[in-house]
A and B are shown apart, each in its own frame.
Chain A
Amino acid sequence: MTCTEFLQQLDEMLDPAIAGPLRAELQQHLRCCEHCEITLNTTRKTIEIYRRHEIYELPEDLRERLHEAILTKCKGCGK
């Protein structure tokens, strides 16, 4: 397996729910390829970090304001 082929199947390694027949082959490649190992680990961290940090927070006061505005619009739309 080449590095390109490994990368094509990266989600197979990132998603624990997928445990396809490819998994063993991918693991085999990892054992002898430091580059792909780093790519896999840092990609995993990338996802985790974005998941953990809410970068567009909706502050409570804005949320209330939006909420009211939405309902006012809907009630007034004549439906």
Chain B
Amino acid sequence: MLLVERARGGDMAAFEKLVRQYERQVFRISQHIVQNREDAEDVVQDAFLKAYEKLDQFQGNSKFYTWLVRIAVNESLMRLRKRRTGRMVSIDEDVETEEGSMPRDLADWSPDPEALYGQSEMGEILRKTIQGLPPGFRVVFVLRDVEGLSTEETAESLGLSIPAVKSRLLRARLQLRERLTRYFRKGARGNAQDGVK
């Protein structure tokens, strides 16, 4: 809090420390939404600039980080909108419930799915899988499960109600699980887990 106070008073060194502290997370979150590195770089810059300009509007009744994430999420969505030329993109998009969250593929996973793939292949699988989720699911999963925000903080960052966060989180988790089953099920890689032949 002290750092934010000082930054608000015009202390540039304090603001720089805040940037250092959060630039990584803001970059990751933005990239999860816009799914493109160049756009994410722009978003991070715009988000911090906006935070800097609006610092005196920051109330201090929420965490600075939550406030910053909210700015970054909005900037990311604006960027997506621009890229899709006029097509409306909001956090509410593509989230009509179908009963599609009921697990269909009930195959159990290999005991150590990460041993099935090399590091870079694994990254590819995880990226591809999460990119298939609608943005409104993706961002909830990322904030809550990857970045470790609480349900309340996630709701605040996204301007959603707590029940909405919970139901999206459930569906995001189940959809990811379902999609990953294809790669991680027992025997997914021939007999890879039995060792090198």
Which residues of A are interface residues toward B (Cβ below 8 A)?
A: 4, 7-8, 10-11, 14, 35, 38-39, 41-43, 45-47, 49-56, 58, 62-63, 66-67, 69-71, 73-75, 77, 79
Beyond the given pairs A35-B106, A55-B127, A74-B15, 4 more chain A to chain B contacts, judged by CB atoms under 8 angstroms and listed by A's residue number, are: A49-B126, A56-B32, A66-B23, A67-B19
Whole-angstrom CA separation of A62 from B15 in the bound complex: 20
6 closest cross-chain pairs (CB), A and B:
A56-B31, A74-B52, A70-B48, A46-B177, A43-B177, A73-B49
Q: Give the size of the chain B interface in residues (CB under 8 angstroms).
A: 46
Pair A47/B173 contact, Cβ less than 8 Å: yes
Q: With A42-B177, A45-B109, A51-B145 as known contacts, state yes or no: A69 contacts B45, CB within 8 Å.
A: yes
Contact partner, B23, options A7, A46, A54, A70, Cβ 8 Å: A70
Which residues of B are interface residues toward A (Cβ below 8 A)?
A: 12, 15-16, 19-20, 23-24, 27-28, 31-32, 40-41, 44-45, 48-49, 52-53, 101-103, 106-109, 113-114, 122-123, 126-127, 130, 141, 145-146, 166, 169-170, 173-174, 176-177, 180-181, 184
Contact partner, A4, options B31, B45, B102, Cβ 8 Å: B102
Interface of B is mostly: helix
Inside 8 A of A51's CB, which chain B residues have their CB?
Answer: 145-146
Q: How far is the CB of B165 from chain A (nearest CB, A)?
A: 10
Pair B170/A11 contact, Cβ less than 8 Å: yes
- Nearest residue, chain B, Cβ from A46: B177
Whole-angstrom CA separation of A62 from B44 in the bound complex: 12
A-B contact pairs, 5 of them (CB 8 A): A14-B173, A42-B109, A43-B173, A50-B141, A56-B40
Inside 8 A of B145's CB, which chain A residues have their CB?
Answer: 47, 50-51
Inside 8 A of B108's CB, which chain A residues have their CB?
Answer: 38, 41-42
Pair A10/B170 contact, Cβ less than 8 Å: yes
Q: In the complex, how many residue pairs between chain A and chain B have their CB atoms under 8 Å apart? A: 110
Pair A77/B52 contact, Cβ less than 8 Å: yes
Contact partner, A43, options B19, B24, B146, B174, Cβ 8 Å: B174
- Nearest residue, chain A, Cβ from B124: A55
Inside 8 A of A8's CB, which chain B residues have their CB?
Answer: 170
Inside 8 A of B173's CB, which chain A residues have their CB?
Answer: 10, 14, 43, 46-47
Inside 8 A of A58's CB, which chain B residues have their CB?
Answer: 23-24, 27-28
Pair B52/A53 contact, Cβ less than 8 Å: no
Pair B49/A77 contact, Cβ less than 8 Å: yes
Whole-angstrom CA separation of A54 from B126 in the bound complex: 10
Inside 8 A of A69's CB, which chain B residues have their CB?
Answer: 45
Q: Which of A14, A49, A55, A71 has the most CB of B within 10 A?
A: A55
